[in-house]
Structure 1
């Protein structure tokens, strides 16, 4: 008590008993507060150690996150509550193994994706008469867009530049088809005669070759073939009757291709800006960037495919001309058109050239043409494709084969034609969306960026 009263005595003021008692009370309160703070710190440390797997404190701590333990859980001898994973929402989920929960989550998500994909394929199949012409129009637009750009830089009006390019491309296609048809019409009589000679040679080989078939056996097989044709005449006739409907669909699709190509070339940027504005603001910049990269990939793919197809047609056509195989120009044109289906297209058209060479010039010339077709295909696969296509549209050959097979099953020849560019576009879009993180961009910036040619 003296150590409290001394300062006041030095100042000359007496210390009362009330002040002494208040001083003692303050010291006791300070000690209690320090003890309380120390207890709280110990409790926090105990909870941290228990959550980490080592219980070093005597304080009980509930597992967080999770429901608060009931009072019965603190009774001596009661089992502690089971630890719950952060991904669970109830105690029942915690009883299921973590691997099984992950597998179930993947399973139902894959089922949803499969159902949505199946529904989309059904919708596309239902309106294929619209989807297929639009897909062809996109390919033609990607091919002709550079020509429209050249005319626009030459100060042509946009509508005039689009019309000139579209009419010029249509004239080139019609002229090529006219030459091919004329060549076939002029050479069909000679080819028919050569085919008859080839059939007679095959008959002689069947008689004198290793099979040693007799005339009666040949006649019986021929009669069976004619009977099969007569039995299936109704099927052939019904197919012929549906040709009118097929022709109407082809004409409708051709008109839609022309109109869609014209508007894609003239108003492509406006259409794309409209589609981008339908998306949330936070996604517009990224989707616009991925879409423009995909369009560049599609254009590069189509132009590279045209160049590769032209080289294939010229290579095989030179061998056909050198060995005087008939229909050299139509066969080269067929190679060019079929080369738009990668890997298998030029091979099938080359097989047609080999058959024509076999009928017209014999087995030796046919073998030479076969070697030429294989050599051109090897040059295409190992030199032209990696060199011309480039890394921007590089796709693994297995993906190409699977895509072509799926396209043939779903949409026939058109599906095989569209499958590979679709895979290339999706590859670029997914890579761009997954790899690039862009800052939040106001919608005005997206509109300005999308106005670039």
Structure 2
């Protein structure tokens, strides 16, 4: 049997013996397996690079966290900075300093007021706290739970003995706390310094960073960065609004129920609201426990009702109407982001996981979307482009 003649002008395909064996091996692998293998090694490289990046960032965590806080603060303060700079012709550096100092003064004033409330509240409710602790310990004993100290006095004696036994560990911990306090002070200074210059020179910083992007991709990256920055600013402002409503609702309920330390409790709820899902549960439990210890079962149940009503209003009314328009994230994505943030960065990771996801989500959505000509992501033609603020 002879082979069919080749068409005119065609040349036979000659394979060396090693080429034939390679061709046969390739033909023997199903296409699905080859596709899966291609995806697998690419995903492994992406995961490996992400792990190396997290590992490297862990060594400069004291620098990364203040910079990210400064970015969130600058998105919050940017409207006020732009208003002062454009309306009253205040120099950019002075308007940035003014809005930053105003924010810091407000935080310090709230902290001083909260500290005064804590000092006076604990001194006035000491007897009720001691009685509440005794009732709680007695209740644990009645339920059959082991309790090494059945009264408040015995609890204090046990605590004093434990402190004497572990005095060396306490001293070591105090030294470590001193080092941590120095790091906190340095972080606060870095945050304030970076916030001022993010407000003043944000467009110039963004222009410098875009130099590391290939020229053919600068326009879409410019638009995506602007969209992500707007999303981050919207998340920050809306989260502050939601946290303020939670704090006012629970703090006002505690004040009406005559629960002590209502103002510090409201501040704690405000801070805890920045940790999605987890923060609301923890601060609500603290509010109910405080009411139980200081006021008894009846007020504790009423406080529980207040906490549940406020959280239901937040989750079913505020979140869909306000947060849903600002940040387009599914609740499951928020929960997984918080869990991943806790696993990677602990308490700090839980706070920053959702805003990072909000920025990344809007950044990717903008990169993959078809943008009509003349929209906000059009690359500026000026020599020194002025990027839109948050």
Q: TM-score, normalised by structure 1?
A: 0.76
**Which residue of structure 2 aligns with residue 183 of structure 1?**
117
Q: Partner residue of 1:342? A: 276
Cα deviation, residue 337, structure 1: 1.5
What's the counterpart of residue 366 of structure 2? 432
CA–CA separation in structure 1 for the residues paired with 2:52 and 2:256: 53
Is residue 150 of structure 1 aligned with residue 83 of structure 2? yes
Q: Tell me the residue number matched to 1:70.
A: 14
Residue aligning to 2:313: 379
For the Cα contact (< 8 Å) 2:117–2:264, is it kept in 1? Answer: yes
The secondary structure found in structure 2 opposite 1:354 is helix
Cα distance in 2, alignment partners of residues 229 and 167 from structure 1: 41
Q: Which runs of 5+ in 2 are unaligned?
A: none
Query: Which deviations, in whole Å up to 9, do the C-alpha atoms of 1:277-328 show, x marking residues without a partner?
Result: 2211110000000000000001110000111111111111111111111111
Q: Which has the larger radius of gyration?
A: 1
SS at match of 1:395: coil
Q: Where in structure 2 are the equivalents of 1:59-208 lying within 5 Å?
A: 59-60=5-6, 68-70=12-14, 90-154=23-87, 155-205=89-139
Contact 2:269 / 2:280 at 8 angstroms: preserved in 1? yes
Describe the superposition over 1:68-118 as per-residue Cα deviations: whole angstroms up to 9, x where unpaired: 52399xxxxxxxx99x9xxxx955423322111111111111111111011
Alignment coverage as a number of residue pairs: 379
Structure 1 segment 220-259 matched on structure 2, within 5 A: 231-259=165-193
Tell me if the contact between 2:78 and 2:199 (Cα under 8 Å) persists in the aligned partners.
Answer: yes
1:392 and 1:138 map into 2 onto residues whose CA distance is 17
> How far apart, CA to CA, are the structure 1 residues paired with 2:151 and 2:117?
35
- Asked whether the equivalents of residues 288 and 446 of structure 1 are also in contact (C-alpha less than 8 Å), the reply is no
Q: Is the 8 A contact 1:281 1:443 kept in 2?
A: no
Contact 1:295/1:425 (CA < 8 Å) preserved in 2? yes
CA RMSD, Structure 1 to Structure 2 (Å): 3.3
Structure 1: gaps spanning 5 or more residues? 1-56, 73-80
Distance 1:362 1:285, change over 3 A: same
2:264 pairs with 1:330: yes
Work out which of the residue numbers 251, 258, 262 in structure 2 matches 1:317: 251
Q: Distance in 1 between matches of 2:76 and 2:49?
A: 32
Higher relative contact order (CA 8 A, sep 6+): 2
> Shift of the alpha carbon at 1:410?
2.0
2:342 to 408, 412, 420: 408
**Scaled by the length of structure 2, what TM-score is found?**
0.87
Structure 1 position 452, deviation (Å) = 4.4
